[in-house]
Chain A
Amino acid sequence: MDTAQAPPESLPNRRIGERIIEGIILVAGISTIIIVALIFLFLLKEGINAFLDIPLRELFGDRWYPIDGIYGLMPLLVGTTLVTIGAVIIAVPLGLVAAIYLGELAPQWLREILKPLIEILAGIPSIVLGFLGWVALAPLIQNAGADTGLTAFTGSLLLAYMSLPTIISISEDALYAVPKEYRDGSLALGATQWQTTWRVVLPAARSGLVIAVMLGIGRVIGETMGVLLVTGNAANMPPLGPGMLFNPVRTMTATIAAEMGEVAQGSLHYSVLFGIGLILFLITFVVNWLAARLVGVSGARTKVGGQV
């Protein structure tokens, strides 16, 4: 059979087909940008009154008593920060080490079992994990000596656990994408397995690893139902010091989830909750921007045996 004999589509037809496909892709791409912009504008419209009507000093004050009309966001900001930092400190090293084990050290058959299992973990609804945290984790923390088991640390542990699958899975993909030629090049010089991993593979995978960590952090900051259950939900300023992590806190996300159902639409309280949403949105934005910066530093994507 001679495929060259098949009647070719006429050239103008193919051009039109190309145009239509390009058009669809363009619309899809632009619509994402428009949707994000609309979300931002909506948050701004609903939340702007919080920033206009409440003096900034009061808005970032350390007392959150919405019933008395006192909207100090500081306890919530501190709560989110504590829980997030705790979770990141636990999850990032653990996630990277697990990814290195999976990608570089584990035998093929074990990798094939573990990888899908870890990816399934990512799909467990956060409320289920939150419930487990409440039933199983909180009593442990309390037995360890905290006043209550529902603390920022409990939230950190839970969020670390929730973000681990994301971090491990994407990091492992990044390590897997490092060409075997780099490893061979290093091993052939007399490098050990670990030297090769640490000095060649990890730097080569850097942009992917940064993305994995940032997505993990994104999940931590945005997570709501799990932390709502296990952090104790006390919108108090925890006393400064190393014991901070072992006090009940309330995160920004949990505040929105807990109070949105009770506020009158258009009220100041309502605006403040949207204001919190706006701040979360900006934080996510900054995290993404930082990630882009970090990835950018490592240079354009490279391939073996070619030029940039």
Chain B
Amino acid sequence: MQNKIEVSDFNFFYGEFQALIDLNLSIREKQITALIGPSGCGKSTFLRCLNRMNDTIDGTRAEGRVLLDGKNVYDPDVDVVELRQRIGMVFQRPNPFPQSIYENVAYGPRILSLAKGAKLDQLVQKSLEDAVLWNEVRHRLKDSAMSLNPGQQQRLCIARAIAVAPEVILMDEPCSALDPVATLKVEELMRELAQDYTIVIVTHNMQQAARASDWTGFFWLGRLVEFAETANIFGSPKEELTEAYITGRRG
């Protein structure tokens, strides 16, 4: 198992406030890594550091290294646009563009000039198939994405993300706005996707982390308390705090 992303001595600040403190962890290639912890513990902030989405927020500062295939994504010569192409993201609330289903998936390939014409059609179909949405939308590709239910919208966002062939997919509480059935579908989908992609998922749902991930990191007040294989975290956590949190005594 190779390390896709290696984080070392990483600190992150919102202005004066330090949101992440001395993080060190490795994210394995083609595995699902779950990040858990109470609200405000920094897990979403950390996720958004991996593709530098926090750059869009004024007054933020990062220190330390996030190595993607050995290259620090915070190096000055890194092109953020290219970085985000390699590290896709799915957000907490489904955020399809207010355009047609087809246009949503075709958007990424179009702006990056990956395909057009019949090849683009194929790519859209393939992405929707991979996101297990194709059969539900194949006859209504021209309909507005807003006509889909939230679960379908989230799978559309996943299709949109994989259409540009990223290497890593970040998921920021992707099921928090979904009902249990839609949640289960997204989890099954994650399992499928993990064969081809490295996935990092932030979740507040510990059952989800236990069910769906290979590795789990537990965040507390901006620090990474424990990082291990999911079975170990939930079976025999080393840290008292981890155990207290996953058993519901702290949170």
Chain A contact residues, CB within 8 Å of chain B: 107-108, 179, 181-192, 195, 199-200, 203-204, 299, 302, 304-308
A107 surroundings in chain B (CB, below 8 A): 58
CB of B81 within 8 A of chain A?
A: yes
Within 8 A of A (CB), among B149-198: 149-150, 153, 157, 160-161, 164, 177
User: In the complex the two chains form, is A191's CB within 8 Å of B81's CB?
Assistant: yes
Picked from B95, B99, B146, the residue with its CB within 8 Å of the CB of A181 is B95
Enumerate the 7 nearest inter-chain pairs by beta-carbon distance, A residue then B residue, closest first. A190-B85, A305-B93, A181-B95, A188-B89, A189-B108, A190-B84, A185-B95
CB contact under 8 A between A184 and B95, given known A189-B88, A191-B81, A305-B153: yes
CB of B111 within 8 A of chain A?
A: yes
* Tally of contact residues, B, Cβ under 8 A: 35
User: In the complex the two chains form, is A184's CB within 8 Å of B53's CB?
Assistant: yes
CB of B217 within 8 A of chain A?
A: no
B95 surroundings in chain A (CB, below 8 A): 179, 181-182, 184-185, 304-305
CA–CA, A189 and B144, complex, Å: 20
Cβ of B13 to closest chain A Cβ, rounded Å: 18
User: In the complex the two chains form, is B53's CB within 8 Å of A189's CB?
Assistant: no
Q: Which residue of A lies closest to B79 (CB)?
A: A190
Cβ of A297 to closest chain B Cβ, rounded Å: 12
User: In the complex the two chains form, is A186's CB within 8 Å of B58's CB?
Assistant: no
How many inter-chain residue pairs (CB < 8 Å) link A and B?
93
User: In the complex the two chains form, is B111's CB within 8 Å of A195's CB?
Assistant: yes
CB contact under 8 A between A302 and B164, given known A185-B97, A192-B81: no
Picked from A189, A192, A305, A307, the residue with its CB within 8 Å of the CB of B160 is A189
CB of B45 within 8 A of chain A?
A: no
Cβ of B120 to closest chain A Cβ, rounded Å: 15
User: In the complex the two chains form, is A190's CB within 8 Å of B107's CB?
Assistant: no
Q: Which residue of A lies closest to B51 (CB)?
A: A188
Q: Which residue of A lies closest to B82 (CB)?
A: A190
CB of B148 within 8 A of chain A?
A: yes
CB of B91 within 8 A of chain A?
A: yes
Q: Which residue of A lies closest to B104 (CB)?
A: A185
A308 surroundings in chain B (CB, below 8 A): 144, 146-147
User: In the complex the two chains form, is B88's CB within 8 Å of A188's CB?
Assistant: yes
B58 surroundings in chain A (CB, below 8 A): 107-108
CB of B56 within 8 A of chain A?
A: yes
Residue from B56, B83, B91, B146 with most neighbouring chain A CB atoms (10 Å): B146
B81 surroundings in chain A (CB, below 8 A): 190-192
User: In the complex the two chains form, is A199's CB within 8 Å of B111's CB?
Assistant: yes
Q: Which residue of B lies closest to A109 (CB)?
A: B58
Not counting A184-B53, A188-B91, a sample of 7 additional A-B residue pairs whose C-beta atoms are within 8 angstroms of each other reads: A184-B89, A184-B91, A190-B81, A203-B99, A306-B146, A307-B149, A308-B147
Picked from B94, B99, B107, B177, the residue with its CB within 8 Å of the CB of A189 is B107
CA–CA, A300 and B96, complex, Å: 15
Picked from A188, A200, A299, A307, the residue with its CB within 8 Å of the CB of B97 is A200
User: In the complex the two chains form, is B98's CB within 8 Å of A190's CB?
Assistant: no
Picked from A108, A179, A189, the residue with its CB within 8 Å of the CB of B85 is A189
CA–CA, A189 and B56, complex, Å: 14
Cβ of B52 to closest chain A Cβ, rounded Å: 10
CA–CA, A200 and B89, complex, Å: 17
CB of B244 within 8 A of chain A?
A: no
A183 surroundings in chain B (CB, below 8 A): 56
CA–CA, A190 and B108, complex, Å: 8
* Interface flags, B71-93, vs A, CB<8A=1, else 0: 00000000001111100110101
CB contact under 8 A between A189 and B146, given known A184-B53, A184-B91, A299-B98: no
Q: Which residue of B lies closest to A178 (CB)?
A: B98
- 15 residue pairs bridging A and B, Cβ less than 8 Å apart: A184-B95, A185-B157, A187-B56, A188-B53, A189-B84, A189-B111, A191-B111, A199-B107, A203-B97, A299-B98, A304-B94, A305-B94, A305-B150, A307-B147, A308-B144
CB contact under 8 A between A190 and B157, given known A181-B91, A308-B144: no
Cβ of A136 to closest chain B Cβ, rounded Å: 39
* Interface flags, B16-33, vs A, CB<8A=1, else 0: 000000000000000000
User: In the complex the two chains form, is B91's CB within 8 Å of A307's CB?
Assistant: no
B144 surroundings in chain A (CB, below 8 A): 299, 302, 308
B97 surroundings in chain A (CB, below 8 A): 182, 185-186, 200, 203-204
CA–CA, A304 and B148, complex, Å: 12
Q: Which residue of B lies closest to A195 (CB)?
A: B111
Cβ of B180 to closest chain A Cβ, rounded Å: 17
User: In the complex the two chains form, is A190's CB within 8 Å of B94's CB?
Assistant: no
CA–CA, A181 and B96, complex, Å: 9
CA–CA, A204 and B145, complex, Å: 13
CA–CA, A189 and B106, complex, Å: 11
CA–CA, A195 and B95, complex, Å: 17
CB of B112 within 8 A of chain A?
A: yes
User: In the complex the two chains form, is A302's CB within 8 Å of B98's CB?
Assistant: yes
B94 surroundings in chain A (CB, below 8 A): 304-305
CA–CA, A182 and B157, complex, Å: 11
